[in-house]
Amino acid sequence: MKYIEGSVTAAKGFKASGVHCGIRKNKSKRDIGLIYCEKKCTAAAVYTTNLVQSSPITITRKNLADGYAQAVIANSGNANTCNADGDKKAWAMCELTAKELGISADDVIVASTGVIGQVLPIEPIAEGIPALVKELSVEGSTDVAEAIMTTDTVKKEVAVETVIGGKTVKIGGISKGSGMIHPNMATMLCFVTTDAAISAEMIQKAVKTAAESTFNMISIDGDTSTNDMLSVMASGLAENEEITAEGEDYDAFVEALTAVCRDLSRKMAKDGEGATKLLVCKVSGAKTEKDAKGVAKSVICSSLLKAAMFGADANWGRVLCAIGYSGCDVDVNKVDVSFASEYGTIDVCKNGAGIDFSEELAKEILIRDEIDILVSLNDGEGYAEAYGCDLTYDYVKINGDYRT
């Protein structure tokens, strides 16, 4: 497997586009995007666990019930959530898109992101979809990546290729998300495409598996979104023998899909609202993988730790505190903690107790923009990573007037 140029149009059969239709006031900002495949794809998705869910999720669940899709239509600037006419508007987006593309409305994945509780105007969307279809191209992946951004400061794109059954298979994806990001799946919008031939049943299994160790391990602010989903469409145009069961080919597909999801997860965490640093908590030596995941999530979700990382303060006690309330099976008297970055690594805790270390060296390590929090539980083989960011003054500024 290797990383390649591109994203959602890297795989055979896919085109994309993004335009400004008028949902957002800023006319220079694309606010609606489209991904389209020349043939019907097997498809799957996982969704937010929030009990308050957007209308696009309701409609997409119905449309993907048969395991197939051919297009994704997504807007930013308005979440179409908690609206009396939300389902009607989401379905209208599917119908308008399908009519322009000449496909079935049941084969459209629909998504929205933005402010909750404001009525979504359908008129600008209806006017914008013909332009979206006209602009479809294999070069359009960057435009659709921009169209789904809200408070994101950078576009998030990635693509990989691997060999499955002797055929070159490509998988690419885009995602958005800077705030209201917290496990479990889904916690953002992410759209992935592939030219692998894989059955609807196995692609659903693969999506869930990949999400568990990637998107489900992100937390930016502890708020689980109402709207977000990870969807994957597979065109089959790579012409590998269709993956219909677990085995070597399935494992290769999951490895590549997980690589795409992990890359996007890291990019999302690093671009957290107001963030200056990517934080990665790497937990090793846990009794089980479940314990490793629980500890890693607990550490990365700690507001006190996130604030300490913003200040480049090697306050390892906050790591131990988060481990202690994680609810996981941990012997705190065996825990080791270190901090690491491109500048180096420094040990700060051994066997659950503090050790002497250079505050000056720790400061140099922690002022970098990517920090690893290394936790060894010394009690087994379980391993997991969680992704987050520091907590800054700007996070409050951004969310203090997000709606107005």
| Residues with catalytic roles | 187
Q: What are phi and psi of 360, to 5 degrees?
A: -65, -45
Task: Tell me how far CA of residue 305 lies from CA of 17, 54, 330, in angstroms.
Answer: 40, 32, 19
Query: Are 217 and 181 contacting, i.e. CB atoms less than 8 angstroms apart?
Result: no
Q: What are phi and psi of 305, to 5 degrees?
A: -65, -45
Distance CA 249, CA 261 (A): 18
Distance CA 81, CA 296 (A): 31
* DSSP structure class, residue 254: H
Please report, in angstroms and rounded to a whole number, the separation of the first and last CA atoms in the chain.
45
Give me the residue label for tokens 């509780």: 117
Distance CA 148, CA 338 (A): 37
- Let me know how many helices (H) and strands (E) the chain has, helices first: 11, 15
Q: Compute CA 62 distance to the chain's CA centroid, rounded to the nearest angstrom.
A: 22
Distance CA 119, CA 128 (A): 18
Burial of residue 162 (CB within 10 Å: 0-12, 13-18, 19+) is buried
**Residues facing 171 on adjacent strands:** 160, 194
